[in-house]
Amino acid sequence: MIAQGLTNKEIAARLLIAQRTAEGHVERILAKLGLTTRTHIAVWITQQRGQDQD
C-alpha cells in the first residue's frame, strides 16, 4: 500500500485499523529496512519485485 502511494490514513481505512497503528507499522518497516522515507520503501519494494521475476 505504501508503494501504491497511500497515506497512513488511507492504509488505516483499508485495513480497518487506527491511523496511529498504521503509522507505527510504517515506522517499523523503515527501521527494519534501514530506510528513511516512504519513497525509499516504494523503491525497495519495486526492486524486490524485479528480483522475483529473474
Q: Cell numbers at residue 51, please?
A: 528480483
CA–CA distance, 27 with 17 (Å, rounded to integer): 15
Look-up: residue for cell 481505512? Answer: 13
pLDDT tens digits, 34-49: 999 999 999 999 899 8
Residues shown for the chain:
54
Q: Cell numbers at residue 23, please?
A: 503509522
What pTM did the predictor assign? 0.80
Supply the pLDDT for residue 49. 87
CA–CA distance, 26 with 13 (Å, rounded to integer): 15
